[in-house]
Amino acid sequence: MCIFYKSMETIVFESRPMGFQPVVEIAACYLEMEGCLLLLECASFKSEPGKWGVPAGKLEKGESPRQGARRELFEETGITVEEDDLCPLGPLYIRKPKMEYVYHLFHLSFSAKPTVRLSSEHENYLWATKKEIDELPLMAGAMEALHKYRKRALETLK
């Protein structure tokens, strides 16, 4: 068992820990364009209002992680991609006080900025540089997942 990140409320594992009981699975899309990453700001009615994260959401019954990533990306941003365009980078295993979940990471690069049409779940979006990401208020565990994404992307996308 490898603990990648631990805070008072969140533990991020690189491999499935013993006794892990996921309630849901999440698919997350890391979209890059010219060294910037697409981030979305959570709406005021969400559990982490004003916090930033990548397009992501729960898998629906019978849905594969890649299908869920494609659907969530469209629902949250209006961006349409083919499932095969999404490069899987593997899962992380997240443990919070009241729930555990599997967090599937996917990568996609763009050569030009796609049009973003936000859903009601988000207030704003930003193609953020690494410096901007370091200064933004991110969702719990988002920075740690981003570090893992960068490491896996370097290994996988060589």
Tens-place pLDDT, residues 2-26: 555 455 577 889 899 999 999 999 9
DSSP state, residue 15: S
Q: How far is CA 8 from CA 2, 22, 108, 139, 141, in A?
A: 17, 19, 32, 14, 11
User: What pLDDT, on a 0 to 100 scale, did the predictor assign at position 56?
Assistant: 97
Structural domain including 43 reads 3-156
**What's the confidence (pLDDT) of residue 126?**
97
CATH number at residue 14: 3.90.79.10
Number of domains making up the chain: 1
> What are the C-alpha distances in Å from 53 to residues 38, 61, 63, 69, 141?
8, 24, 22, 14, 10
pLDDT in tens, 116-143: 999 999 999 999 999 999 999 999 888 8
pTM above 0.85, yes or no: yes
Considering the chain, what percentage of its residues have pLDDT values greater than 90?
A: 75
Q: Are strands 87-96 and 24-33 parallel, antiparallel or unpaired?
A: unpaired
Q: Which pLDDT does position 1 carry in this prediction?
A: 47
